[in-house]
Structure 1
Amino acid sequence: MTSRAPRLLLLAGGVLAAALSAPSPAFAAASGHVDGAGLSLVWTLPLVGMLLSIAILPLAAPHLWHHHYGKIAAGWALALLAPFALVEGPGPVGTELVHAAVGEYVPFVILLFSLFTISGGILVAGNLHGTPALNTTLLAIGTLLASVIGTTGASMVLIRPLLRANDHRQRNAHVVIFFIFLVSNIGGSLTPLGDPPLFLGFLQGVDFFWTTTHMAKETAVLVAILLPGFYLLDRWFFSREPAVPKPDPTPDSRLALKGLQNLPLLAGVVAAILMSGLWDSGVVFDVFGTKVTLQALARDVILVGLALVSLKITPAELRERNGFDWEPIREVAKLFLAIFTTLIPALLILKAGTEGAAAPLIALVSRPDGAPSDATYFWLTGLLSSVLDNAPTYLVFFNIAGGDAQELMGPLASTLVAISGGAVFMGALTYVGNAPNFMVLAIAKSRGVAMPSFFGYMLWSWGILGPCFVLLTLLFFDW
């Protein structure tokens, strides 16, 4: 294990230890909570600053960002927490911070860490020639895998073989762009393992296989459009490659799957997630006002344990051949910690409903008769997911829609589909819309792919995905 891994484990382990220590309910009661109804939208400015930093600094000041993104993220978090605690009180703000960390951020990062570590020990050795047919096949396989081993797992397993297959081509950025569309986002729409927002929904009480049965049609429509569309586009680019191609740095060779000892560990991840949803232990720890169940704690410990086992049983040489390093997950962990922190006031304001500063937004998602507007939920969840990260945005609209999983899976099922579809599908609109997007971008750039800038990528995503989302609205979501 490299020196980077313990830092990630300390982050998760520290909060898990806090959960085990179970602070007294009296302290949580004394601390109270921040009243979102009294908050101004000014408190969301650190979140805006954080997101603008992610969008602009990698392009405007790449050296500064690469070496100091963690400090920049911490700066925005402190820019919120210091005045927020001064105005609202350290007790209530501490309670909200612990809730964001223990209830949402840590399970989110532990799942990503586990999938990233285990999938990084699976090597698709050898190389194939990156033809349009092969590329389309790899994208199809990745799309199917994404709901089984997660968008993070599928992205990490397949992005390197895909890059090797196309490293002889001069024009290959579009291959990575469609990979982000399909494998890193849309393919993960069918289970809580697939995409972080659905995992957070699972933590809120949504059944494990609910999205499998309720989002299959929407997912199938997108895949049926994007895969053939990619094949035609790739054929067009392929036909315009130079008559004398550049030398292939990774010549074609026989494929082989190595690191098979990690496959049972991936199955263990699935089993741990299912266990936490099916087992009700009745044991609840109180962590500064945040309820942590024994089954959730057991799930997270198991996930960390499976990742450690993977590190132990996978030869270091295999990970080196896979180009595995900790930078992508470390970057995601740091940036998303700041995002989850600076998102606290926005979530509180939204949870206040019509009593809060976001009352006009709440009004938008309701029809005159008070019924939810599914199309509005789809677009607002999706648009905000593309810039706020789709996991916390899902939680926002889940709560706006009532926050009752049983009601949302029953009478309001179409609304939950709209929220889930917006969060998962439109996470593909920007590099920050979903955690694997960032990881794939970092790996592709490190392999010399001339990826578009933040806004250049948005031209691609809106030009291709925008019309697809309009079609989904017309087919499935009522205004």
Structure 2
Amino acid sequence: MLPLLSHKPAMDILSNGGHHGIAAASSPMAPPFWLALPFILLLLMIATAPLFFADFWHKHYPKIAILLAAFVMGYYCIVLKNTMKPIEAAAEYIQFMALITALYIATGGIAIKVDARATPLANMILLFLGALSANVIGTTGASMLFIRPYLGLNKGRIKAYHIVFFIFIVSNIGGALTPIGDPPLFLGFLKGVPFKWTLLHNSLPWMVMLLMLLSIFYFFERNNKMALDGNPYQGRISIAGSKNIIWLVMIIGAVFLDPTIFPWLPTINYHGHPISCIRELIMLSIATIAYYTTNKELLLANGFSFAPLNEVCLIFIGIFGTMIPALELIGSFAASEIGKQLITPTTLYWGTGIFSSILDNAPTYLNFVAASMAAQGANIEVVANVQAYAAGGIYPDSVIRLSAIALASVFFGAMTYIGNGPNFMVKAIAEQAGITMPSFGKYIFRFSMPILLPLLFMIWVFFFAL
């Protein structure tokens, strides 16, 4: 997901992921373990409700999401006397939705037409181009830009696996090469990890993972034949709505308008934490201009509708609100003495990955990096420490530890629909186009676990199994 300066919030930081969050103030009371139950309940309902009580869920999910989020945030404010965490979550949600909304509207006016037959090679090229572009415009931007031409190319032969592999490759794995690609990587950059670090250390695992996924995709594709229609194909890609590319570039540029990078930006000081909404106002203003200046015929040709955006907006109110205690409990354990003793490249890879599958990958990334550094006497809040940790040499295995956290936070986001912001959006767009998508549970058990999980295991074996 493209980084919001705080996450996935930081949930592409989402960005768009999806944000970098406002640093949390120390709370007078730690959350009880049971306060994570609303988050677990929401996940279970997202996974099972469309199967067992679909009508009820589609009618009432907005109320359920909002009520669960309100309960958790109210408990923090009233019982725990901690208003900073709910404010941080609200700020991250606004960052997330501002970016998602702006990218969705701006890319909705860009029509990429692929004048080619829907062969396995054509699809693999399009997926690869989407993966590359994710490192320039973020996984959220790439997903919104490429999903419609991808659907158009496969019209008449589209299957659920097409969308699933798109989520795997474009919406997640593709964005592992630059800090722009996914929110957690951007957070690392803000903390002091050099911009080129991800390209230098993630390139080989990225390429290995991408080639393995494309190879498996080919085996699905070779049995999915398309009837010959006699149309002459030129094998070209054309783009209409080029002025929207300008809006898209401006939105991506606005991502960097953060007090962390530009201290001169106007902010509101809340308990020592600078809060600025300049970036979000600019993004939403650009989105508004883009919508009203876009050729409506292009919007119609793209099947543009606000329905997918509305669904994401409501579902993620619940996710952002209820995951507060879950993230805090994970962070506390990772920083505990027991947690520090368990820190190795292997536990960092799987720990970051598992929690990034169901939680916000940006704060998960920061929590595990902070714990890993603290275990070796380094401080994530000191830029020189972060730079030394990324460079290696001073701290044993620091480079491989940081790489394990970075790759896991990006790669594992594809394990569930809620693992990264673009996932749910792509699913919603596909369903809006009439494609029957697997439910939350079926996505995991039919695709992520049998296809993606073995590949993630192989990445661990190749690069982190010390």
Bin of the TM-score, shorter chain as denominator length: 0.7 to 0.9
Name 2:150's counterpart in structure 1: 162
Q: Is the 8 A contact 2:108 2:144 kept in 1?
A: yes
Q: Which residue of 2 aligns with 1:291?
A: 273
Task: Between 198-207 and 431-440, report the one with greater CA deviation.
Answer: 198-207
Counterpart contact for 1:208–1:274, Cα < 8 Å? no
Asked whether 1:62 is paired with 2:62, we answer no
**Which secondary structure state, in structure 2, belongs to the residue aligned with residue 237 of structure 1?**
coil
Aligned residue pairs: how many? 426
What is the alpha-carbon distance in structure 2 between the residues aligned to residue 405 and residue 304 of structure 1?
Answer: 33
**Cα distance, 1:409 vs structure 2:** 4.5
Aligned with 1:386: secondary structure? helix
The whole-number CA distance in structure 2 between the counterparts of 1:32 and 1:193 is 27
Amino acid at match of 1:342: T
Residue 16 of structure 1 is matched in structure 2 by: none
**Alignment root-mean-square deviation, CA:** 3.1
Can you give the 5+ residue segments of structure 2 that lack an aligned partner in the other structure? 1-23, 375-379, 390-397
User: Which residue of the partner structure matches residue 21 of structure 1?
Assistant: none
Q: Hey, what's the Cα distance between the residues in 1 that align with 2:258 and 2:73? A: 32
- Tell me the CA shift for residue 337 of structure 1: 2.7
Contact 1:365 1:376 (8 Å CA) reproduced = no
Report the counterpart of residue 34 of structure 1 in structure 2: 27
SS of aligned partner of 2:255: helix
Aligned sequence identity (%): 37
| Partner amino acid, structure 2, of 1:438 | F
Cα drift, residue 187 of structure 1: 0.5
Mapped pair 1:418 → 2:404: yes
Q: Per-residue deviation at 1:155?
A: 1.3
Residue of 367, 375, 386 corresponding to 2:357: 386
2:191–2:386 CA contact under 8 A, matched in 1:
no
State the secondary structure of the residue aligned to 1:236.
coil
Is 1:427 aligned with 2:440? no
* AA matched with 2:80: E
Counterpart of 2:58, as a letter, is H
- In structure 2, the residue matched to 1:153 is 141
- Equivalent positions of 1:70-469 (< 5 A) are 70-89=62-81, 92=82, 94-102=83-91, 104-125=92-113, 128-169=116-157, 172-238=159-225, 245=227, 256-274=238-256, 276=258, 279-281=261-263, 285-289=267-271, 291-292=273-274, 297-353=277-333, 359=336, 363=338, 366-367=341-342, 372-401=343-372, 402=374, 403-404=380-381, 406=383, 407-411=385-389, 412-458=398-444, 459-469=446-456
The normalised TM-score by structure 2 is 0.81
- Gap change, CA 1:332 and 1:83, over 3 Å in 2: same
Whole-angstrom CA distance in 1 between matches of 2:182 and 2:307: 20
What is the distance in 2 between the residues matched to 1:74 and 1:420?
Answer: 31
User: CA, structure 1 residues 285+168, in 2 after alignment: closer, same or farther (shift >3 Å)?
Assistant: closer
Distance in 1, Cα, partners of 2:204 & 2:103 = 27
Does the Cα contact within 8 Å between 2:159 and 2:435 map onto a contact in 1?
yes
Q: Is the contact between residue 143 and residue 182 of structure 1 (CA under 8 Å) also seen in structure 2?
A: yes
TM-score (norm 1): 0.79
C-alpha contact (below 8 Å) 1:364/1:376 kept by paired residues = no
> 2:93, 2:369 → 1: CA distance?
17
Residues in 2 aligned to 1:197 and 1:148: alpha-carbon distance in whole angstroms: 15
1:103-124 Cα shifts (integer Å, max 9, x gaps):
x332232222222221121112
In structure 2, relative to structure 1, the CA distance for the partners of 1:60 and 1:273 (3 Å cut) is: same
CA-CA distance at 1:346 after TM superposition: 2.4
1:312-352 per-residue CA deviation (whole Å, 9 max, x = no partner) reads 32122211211112222332233223222212222333343
Q: Counting helix residues as a fraction of each chain, which structure ranks higher?
A: 1
Match of 1:28 in 2: none
Name 2:6's counterpart in structure 1: none
**Residues 137/101 of structure 1: CA separation in 2 closer, same or farther (3 Å cut):** same
Distance in 2 (CA, whole Å) between partners of 1:251 and 1:108 is: 43
Cα separation, partners in 2 of 1:32 and 1:297, compared to 1, 3 Å: closer
The Cα shift of 1:204 comes to 4.7
Q: Which runs of 5+ in 1 are unaligned?
A: 1-30
